[in-house]
Structure 1
């Protein structure tokens, strides 16, 4: 394996980590690649910027941050826990480069407005990440091959979680990994909230390797608790914010309507969305995907303002000019009849339910211990006591135990804001609207 260091360390100034240090030529080459530079044009938090106006940061900066956290952990392991003999469970620093490359590239497959785009066009950013790394047509792959012919496969296997060294995998993907550490701090910084902030300096002091992965010294339990609760609060207060979800619903319906319009003859789109055609026709390849970013989609949304289709034009206007759908939380089991009646009223007032209503579920499991019988078993967080014994976090932390295995979030019905704000355009349906508001109050009470 060819490992070439830069003659002089390269640094990037960063608002979260101060400096990001690059010492390997392959890392700098990857950063300068076409596929990685594309991440500058993809927002990290999607529609959250419509709620938290500072959240303009990109997946480029996040990926650099995950790299930097991983680099610091490797430094810590190399300095304090170097492997002395095979199988001793300590850190083999020959794994450093594969860790750093996997950390840097873990989000390379994200598309524009990532998760919403995926739902409409059936893309998968994790699978596309692997394609970008393994395809001999990408600059990423060609750069990785300069290390060794099989190096792209090694990096991909870390992201796919089947790399043979569990320490490497868990540094990139576990319930407390470099990815989550960076996005919590970075998203908290840019959204202007305090929820996601935790003591990363302490976390990096108490993290350590062991034979089956990574763990934390027992004395660092409270720092780990702080991290778990910070993550929980970020999901409840930021990522699941009702207004952000309302904008995601509009974006989802906007893309769906554009696809439906394109595929309904005669062709009703007078403004040609060239780069989206392969996705409308479900006949796209990796090169088509890499042409897309947030700016491309935003340009098409602007063009769709002038489309003859009133639904497409209206949804484009709502998204571009931040006119989110309103919502009300409900219980699917107990409130089903109310939701059905509210949806029927929306249709009678003149809105097509397919494009003007949505039921949005947002749930997250803040922490769980290992359950081998689950569909996606999690790697539990282990603490190591002074005798070298491992203890699962929730068995000694009452705070973490209180949220272990318990999903947080809610289910909401989204609908046009006009349904609860009487206006000249809808005053002919005042009786319907009053009934709608009455049903909404029942749910809120």
Structure 2
């Protein structure tokens, strides 16, 4: 039997808190899960620093990737059962696309690094480009498994993730405004953070999802389930992903890695005990795929623990603040109050803090739904006569948030700047008092 068609003698299941069972039916999927590159995802948290706010959020990229695979498998089953192609080009589902869709779903996040987005920002990596490299490089176990299907198969799987695969149905399963990736992480993140507003009716959405010539649409009878998904996504960004304490810990992590990099460049920490040898290629801007795959959250955390004993007081303090959860405080600002930030930084410097490492500006904004960004981003509803209509034109709820960014800008600073006489800091009390006169509740005034 050809490898691409080989099914397991008995399907394997993974017990999952979100989907109950995740069903593995193809030999190739099980083989991909067992590669060292995919197993590495067990050691990378899905939500990074959010676990320092929502203590249950310890789930990993591994569990999320399995979830995206499972939702994609269900979509393929629904399409094959209800919308199988009858003639070439009829816009219905060709089940020969199933394997490339399942593999792309499983592997879509395999290129994420430790503390994904912060690491990318400091070391200028690109997890999507690295995902494609892991899939197409002959040095990886993932590539060797995929090549058993055909020499061209790894490039086909990578092209789905890169959004260049010729079948738009397959691409939109993995990457669109309502795709398997987003549906899994919303449900999974809501579950593990203990929140309810990230939940929506996945079963109903999958039921009303259908293929058409230009991609995937939804039966108009399921409009309210799609609305619920859009609102759930909006709420998760505001309440979970943009939580100010989680962002504060990201700021500290960012500054911690930045300081370590600068220490290395000044040759001040290369010979310290437990020097971060695995990070040296990144400090030198000359890392390769092998270097990248050696890193995970645990690797960095081990270095952070050693840096608490560093002879560099700033590096040691930032490591302490990150590991022992000592977040910076923050306040919102707008264009009117932005001009006060230099003065606030000067006061922070006078209080003895290096403003480069103990202050930050962070803005977090999300676009819940945009019908106009590009046609492929639209959510299309199919009416009874087969005509398509864009979601926001018939949903007053979605129209109300369509095209509107939500979020805020924050200025982060040391919590010590909120000290008072009661804290026995009378020496610096005039500085703290001057600082605090510019703050009111959650805003710079």
Task: Give the shorter-chain TM-score range.
Answer: over 0.9
Contact 1:349 1:426 (C-alpha < 8 Å) held by counterparts: no
Range that drifts further, 103-112 or 335-344: 335-344
Equivalent-residue separation in structure 2 for 1:88 and 1:232 (angstroms): 35
1:344 aligned to 341, 346, 361, which one? 346
Change (3 A) 1:179 1:266: closer
Unmatched segments (≥5 aa) in structure 2: none
Contact 1:349 1:429 (C-alpha < 8 Å) held by counterparts: yes
Aligned to 2:89: 87
Range that drifts further, 296-305 or 260-269: 260-269
**Shift of the alpha carbon at 1:431?**
0.6
2:395 aligned to 389, 394, 397, which one? 397
Aligned to 1:301: 304
Equivalent position SS for 1:367: coil
Aligned to 2:13: 11
Contact 1:361 1:410 (C-alpha < 8 Å) held by counterparts: yes
Equivalent-residue separation in structure 1 for 2:64 and 2:211 (angstroms): 24
Aligned to 1:435: 434
Contact 1:268 1:309 (C-alpha < 8 Å) held by counterparts: no
Aligned to 1:277: 280
- Taking the TM superposition and a 5 Å limit, the aligned residue runs for 1:16-27 are 16-27=18-29
Aligned to 1:145: 147
Equivalent-residue separation in structure 1 for 2:352 and 2:333 (angstroms): 23
Equivalent-residue separation in structure 2 for 1:371 and 1:301 (angstroms): 41
Aligned to 2:205: 203
- Taking the TM superposition and a 5 Å limit, the aligned residue runs for 1:252-267 are 252-267=254-269
Equivalent position SS for 2:24: strand
**Shift of the alpha carbon at 1:428?**
1.5
Unmatched segments (≥5 aa) in structure 1: none
Contact 1:53 1:191 (C-alpha < 8 Å) held by counterparts: yes
Equivalent position SS for 2:416: helix
Equivalent-residue separation in structure 1 for 2:352 and 2:10 (angstroms): 65
- Taking the TM superposition and a 5 Å limit, the aligned residue runs for 1:279-428 are 279-331=282-334, 333-372=335-374, 379-422=377-420, 426-428=425-427
Equivalent position SS for 1:224: helix
1:135 aligned to 134, 137, 141, which one? 137
2:35 aligned to 10, 20, 33, which one? 33
Equivalent position SS for 2:28: helix
Equivalent position SS for 2:13: strand
Equivalent position SS for 1:370: coil
Aligned length in residues: 440
TM-score (norm 2): 0.97
Listed one character per residue, the Cα deviations across residues 386-432 of structure 1 (whole Å, up to 9, x for unaligned) are: 00000000000000000000011000000111111337685321111
Equivalent-residue separation in structure 2 for 1:45 and 1:207 (angstroms): 28
Contact 1:134 1:156 (C-alpha < 8 Å) held by counterparts: yes
Range that drifts further, 420-429 or 15-24: 420-429
**Shift of the alpha carbon at 1:349?**
1.0
- Taking the TM superposition and a 5 Å limit, the aligned residue runs for 1:205-284 are 205-267=207-269, 270-271=272-273, 272-284=275-287
Contact 1:133 1:156 (C-alpha < 8 Å) held by counterparts: yes
Note the aligned Cα RMSD (angstroms): 1.3
Equivalent-residue separation in structure 2 for 1:425 and 1:172 (angstroms): 56
Listed one character per residue, the Cα deviations across residues 280-338 of structure 1 (whole Å, up to 9, x for unaligned) are: 1111110000000000000000000100100000000000000001000110x211221
Listed one character per residue, the Cα deviations across residues 17-73 of structure 1 (whole Å, up to 9, x for unaligned) are: 000000100000000000000000000000000100000000000000000000000
Contact 2:15 2:22 (C-alpha < 8 Å) held by counterparts: yes
1:155 aligned to 147, 154, 157, which one? 157
Equivalent-residue separation in structure 2 for 1:54 and 1:421 (angstroms): 31
Contact 1:254 1:312 (C-alpha < 8 Å) held by counterparts: yes
Equivalent-residue separation in structure 1 for 2:298 and 2:394 (angstroms): 48
Equivalent-residue separation in structure 2 for 1:70 and 1:297 (angstroms): 33
Equivalent-residue separation in structure 2 for 1:31 and 1:427 (angstroms): 59
